[in-house]
Amino acid sequence: MDHRALLERIYQAVDQSAYLTPAVHVAPRQRAAMEAIGQSLQARPFSPEATRDLAHALHDSGKIDRVKLLSALHVVAAHPEVRDWNEAARLVGEQELAALDLGGPELDANMAAVERHRGVLAFLRGHHEAALDYFTRSFERERSAENLGNILCALIRLGDLDDARDLRDQVRAGFPAELVTHLNQIISQDPDLALLRTED
């Protein structure tokens, strides 16, 4: 895989970001339910069963759609205390089909989540170049600080520190201040991005 070509795509996406008008938007109707799942993922001790049951219950009651259900189940399967990689990969495939079937204005955001999940799986299994490919796809669909942070993580793991710093600088120079602020927060708090703090 030629990750230099991926870098060109990332830079192109960065260059064009200020002019994009993505059709994605967050669905407030699902926000509270996903917050509840997020809190269950943070609970100590963490219970995968309880989190899965909660996600299914919220889906059964119509609080979250099938795409978000599968996304939540994937995050549980990929959790460090679960590490069920095969199940996580199966679920993200199912999530992709559900997102395509659902379509609509949330398609790009849903597909960005699919690509991000696949990237995380690849990253956690040590396939950093494949992870960069997935994170690039996710970023092309959804320009977010989260996706940028993952790209920077993958670049650093690939040893491309100079490219990571160049990308960071380009984002800081050209992206909206709010996104830059959030990215700076990620860089300051994510241990994997510590090498990018030296020039802050």
Partner 1 sequence: MSFFSYLYVMLLSFGQPMVVDQVDLPSDPVACSQDAPSFWFLFAPESDSKDQGISNGF
C-alpha 9/C-alpha 17 separation (Å) is: 12
Which CB atom, from 104 or from 176, has the smaller least distance to partner 1?
A: 176
The closest alpha carbon to 171, from 141, 196, 195, 148, belongs to: 148
As measured in angstroms, the least distance from the Cβ of 8 to partner 1 is: 21
Which CB atom, from 38 or from 104, has the smaller least distance to partner 1?
A: 38
As measured in angstroms, the least distance from the Cβ of 5 to partner 1 is: 22
Which CB atom, from 10 or from 34, has the smaller least distance to partner 1?
A: 34
Measured CA distances, 182 to 47, 162, 178 (Å): 30, 21, 6
As measured in angstroms, the least distance from the Cβ of 30 to partner 1 is: 8
As measured in angstroms, the least distance from the Cβ of 182 to partner 1 is: 6
C-alpha 109/C-alpha 147 separation (Å) is: 12
Structure tokens belonging to residue 61: 């009651």
Residues that bind partner 1 (CB under 8 A): 17-22, 24-26, 28, 30-31, 34-35, 37-39, 41-42, 44, 46, 68, 71-72, 75, 78-81, 109, 113, 116-117, 120, 123-124, 126, 143-146, 149-150, 153, 157, 176, 178-179, 181-182, 185-186, 189-193
Which CB atom, from 8 or from 35, has the smaller least distance to partner 1?
A: 35
Q: Are 24 and 108 in contact (CB under 8 A)?
A: yes
The closest alpha carbon to 167, from 189, 134, 145, belongs to: 145
Structure tokens belonging to residue 179: 């996104």
- Counting Cα atoms < 13 Å in the Cβ hemisphere of 99 gives 21
As measured in angstroms, the least distance from the Cβ of 87 to partner 1 is: 14
